[in-house]
Amino acid sequence: MIVLTIDTDWAPQEATLAVLEKVKALNIKTTVFFSEPSPLPYWPNLEVGAHPDLSRRHAFLDPGGPMSMASMEHDRQIQAVESDILASFRAAIPAAEAARTHRFYWHSDLARVMAKNGFQHDSSMILPYMPGIKGFRVGKLLRWPVFASDHLHLMRKFPLDRLEAPGLTSEGLKIFCFHVTYLYLNASSLEDFNMIRARLGQGESPKPKAGAGIWTLFELLAEKIAQTSSGYHLRDLPEDMILKNLTL
């Protein structure tokens, strides 16, 4: 079961708008984790998610060093700030029931903090190319591990003009994580991406590359999904995709 997801990652609005228009035209269910509200009105096949950056150190009186984190007060400070950040996303994107933290950041108390702020689904974990992946429950939160990302695909130099990657034909959940900038540029290599990203950061607007690239891969996956269904959102994944684990 293939599931398409996209992280906006603070991409320029022009790039985000262009990618979302193309995704909308494919008419396949897609979950987009927004770092800020969408420049496009939401549409029926779009599931809205939140993409907060919780990976920075947030303790107010943190002198540094490993022992500075070995206290309940430190944990309370971290969770209080994380809760405020998540609450701001809920206010800005009230339709978001799913979250994916920047850099797949996670800690053992975060499921509770997310649930407290109204999130029901999380995809802040990656198990690269592992067959047989399923979701699992942590408290009130359902966690959905990512199977592959565009960055890993380029790093491993897997094909971009055909669907070929380890475990792709195996059983289990296959959540793909794409990023707006990779899709917008139709990046075909990490070197290409790093070079053009610098130009985007300077306010330039390079055109997407011709030929096979990350957008090509996204379209191929969408075509494969369309052969059997209209795709899936995280919120409507079937019960048989959830492990019968003892809920923590």
CATH match for 2-241 among 3.30.43.10, 2.40.128.720, 3.60.20.10, 3.20.20.370: 3.20.20.370
What pLDDT does 196 receive? 65
pLDDT at position 203 is 64
Spans of all domains in the chain = 2-241
| pLDDT > 90 fraction of the chain, expressed in percent and rounded | 76
Is 39 or 100 the better-scoring residue by pLDDT?
100
pLDDT at 205 over 80: no
Question: How far is residue 168 CA from its own chain's centroid?
Answer: 19
Would you say 74 and 120 are in contact if contact means Cβ atoms under 8 Å apart?
Answer: no
Read off the pLDDT band of 246 (50, 70, 90).
low
pLDDT digits (tens, 9 = 90+) for 206-241: 778 889 999 999 999 999 999 999 999 999 999 999
Residue 56 reports pLDDT greater than 80 = no
Residue among 89, 114, 103, 10 at smallest CA distance from 55: 103
Which neighbouring-strand residues pair with 98? 49, 121
- Residue matched to tokens 């991409």: 11
Output the DSSP codes for 35-69.
Answer: SS--SS---TTEEEEE-----S---TT---SGGGG
DSSP state of 242: B
For the sheet containing 46-50, what is the strand order?
136-138, 141-143, 121-122, 98-99, 46-50, 30-34, 2-7, 174-179, 148-149
* Amino acid 39: pLDDT: 87
pLDDT tens digits, 70-87? 677 778 888 999 999 999
Which H/E stretch holds residue 175? strand 174-179
Mean per-residue pLDDT of the chain: 90
Backbone angles phi, psi at 135, to 5 degrees: -80, 170
Q: At what angle do helices 214-226 and 13-26 cross, to 10 degrees?
A: 30
Higher pLDDT, 63 or 24: 24
Pair 193, 181: CB distance under 8 Å: yes
The pLDDT confidence band at residue 42, using thresholds 50, 70 and 90, is very high
Q: What mean pLDDT is predicted for residues 188-217?
A: 79
pLDDT in tens, 129-163: 999 999 999 999 999 999 999 999 999 999 999 99
User: How many other C-beta atoms lie within 10 A of the C-beta of residue 247?
Assistant: 10
Greatest extent of the chain over all pairs of C-alpha atoms, in Å: 56
pLDDT attached to residue 10: 87
Q: What's the predicted TM-score (pTM) here?
A: 0.92
